[in-house]
Structure formats: C-alpha cells, structure tokens
Chains A and B, each alone.
Chain A
C-alpha cells in the first residue's frame, strides 16, 4: 500500500474515499466475508439440525438462520478490517513506522453505535414477536390440547396419558393435535427435551411446569434430558413418534391391553 493513503487531505476525502486502495481491498474482503457468513447460515443449520416437526422447531431454526444472515454484514465489516490489517502486517524486530494519529472519529462511532442498536432491536423485536405468537397459539389451543404428564426421575422419562389411561416410557403423539406437557420431577432437576419438537422445559420437584406444542410432521422423535441430573444423565433418553390418529389409537389400545408399552 502506498504512503499517500495514510494521510488523505480532508477536502477530497469524501470523493476519493472509495478510490483508495485500502478501502477497495477492504470492500472486496467485506463482500467475501459477508457472503461466507450468509452461506454458512443458510447451509449449516438446515443441514445439521434435526427434522422440523413443529412450529416451535421451525421458529428456532429460522432464528439461527436469519440472525446469521443479518449479522453477516456486521461480521463482514469487522473481519474485513481485521483481514486488511493482517495483510498489511509488518514483520521484523523493529517496530513499524508510526501510523496516523487518529484518536477517534465521531461520525464513525455514532454510526456504529446506531447500527448495532438497530441490530439489537431487530433481534429483540423478532424474539418478542415470536414469543407472543407462540404464547397466543398456546393459549388458543390450551382447551383442546391432549394432556401428557411427563415425569422425570433419575434416570428415566415416563409419560402418563390421563385421557387414555395409559403410562409408558415412550412418547407417542398423534399428528396435528395440540399437546400440553405437564412436567414434574420426583427427585432432582431434569429438563424435558423432545428434540424434533423444538421445545424444552425443566422438570422440578413439587412444581408442574407446562409447555405446549403441536406436532405437524410424522416421524420419530428423540426425548432427552438437557439438565445434568447425576451419573446416568447421558442415558436418560427415550424415543417416541408422531403418528397418524389411527396408528396412535391402535397403539393406545395395545398398551391398554398389555398394561405396558413394548
């Protein structure tokens, strides 16, 4: 980089700013980083996250994708400036020449602060809106919801279906029927996590915590414990499935007859 870049005269700054070599190079790097993060956001989470089987799961994955995309330009600026500086590196045992004595730049600080505030606001508003949508839906479906009483004990989950009068260690649910999980623990804290449904809530002793969702895809679900609960915490897992109403009914009657699920 040539020396004249280091001390632009104030007058022609605005017009020549984007013609400066370092600015151009930084802009190119900015575009590359922004694109990288955008692609990462679009590719990474849909590729690796489990199947989306409820609106809650969709909302979680959307947040991860979109927040990556929204923050890509900010990451791009930071990384572009850092990369540019890195490429300008000075090596050797003597210090480099003195840089420009810029102590601050009022407009830059203000623009940066405003931009990061807007970014924070977007995240906040997004989250609040999602929360609100979820709680409105949960309230709307609370009357019609099928109740499943989930009990966490060291180190197993069990599920009581009061309407059907069965109790199992497998979480099977009918599709498109709102479900209300009433969760409690008989001992220490656990955390009930039906992974593909994208909801999670702690199981506490003597308190019932509630979480609602509506499974909207058929398929297997994994149920895990997400709160360290003692030596076999890792093994406090079980499976289940979202099935058609008919399949669910026949499973229920099978369990009712045998007294336990296979």
Chain B
C-alpha cells in the first residue's frame, strides 16, 4: 500500500507551508495583517501536520520503498517590497494548493482504506486549507493593482 508516501508528502508539505507562513509573515511584518494572519495560519499548518503524524507512522509499516521525486521544492526564501510581498504570497498560494490537492488524494485513499479516523482528519483540515487559499487570493487581489501599476 502506497498511502504512506502520500501521507508523508502531505505531512512534509504542511510542515514546509507552516515554516513558509512564519517566514513570510516575519519578512513583511510592516504589513500587520499579513504578519498576524500568517502567524495564525502557520500554527494551523503545524496542527495539520501533527494530526497526520500518527497515520503516517501507522501506514509506514506496510509501505514499500519511497518512490523517486516525491517531494516538491516550492519555496526558497522571502523577498522585500510590494512586488516581493505579492511574489511571496504567490509562493504560499502554490504551496497551499499542493496541500489542497494532497488532501483530496489522501481523502480518496482514506475511503479506499476504510479509515474513518483519517477521513475525519482530512475533512476537518481540507476546509482550513481551502480558506488559506482564499485568504491568499483575497490579499493578492488587493495588493496587485497598487504593486504592479501604481508603485514606482
């Protein structure tokens, strides 16, 4: 059963997203809403990872070797200024989108494995990830015209 690999992928993606939220929030602390919301969402991501951990451990026992090129590198540090903010939020958006699709995949697998506990975790967390995506989209929509057209 390969479910463990996708659980591992999602677990790591959530941890990385949590760290990235923290980094981006700190890098743009002069945008207080970005700072405070990123802090909140970082905690949320870490909570997701914690909830996944026992399942990842359990399924790892029955898993074959990890396939190649499982994990993706979507974040390599923050930037500065209005366009930097936009671009950093875009990184977060892509990372959250990866988590979002992983929740779907893991949720499908949970059905197949008849694992109600895992399904419960997926249902609770995927909604929060979806709100994260919406917040990032909202904030980027607000920032884009000023950063791309107005700022000198």
A pairs with B: no
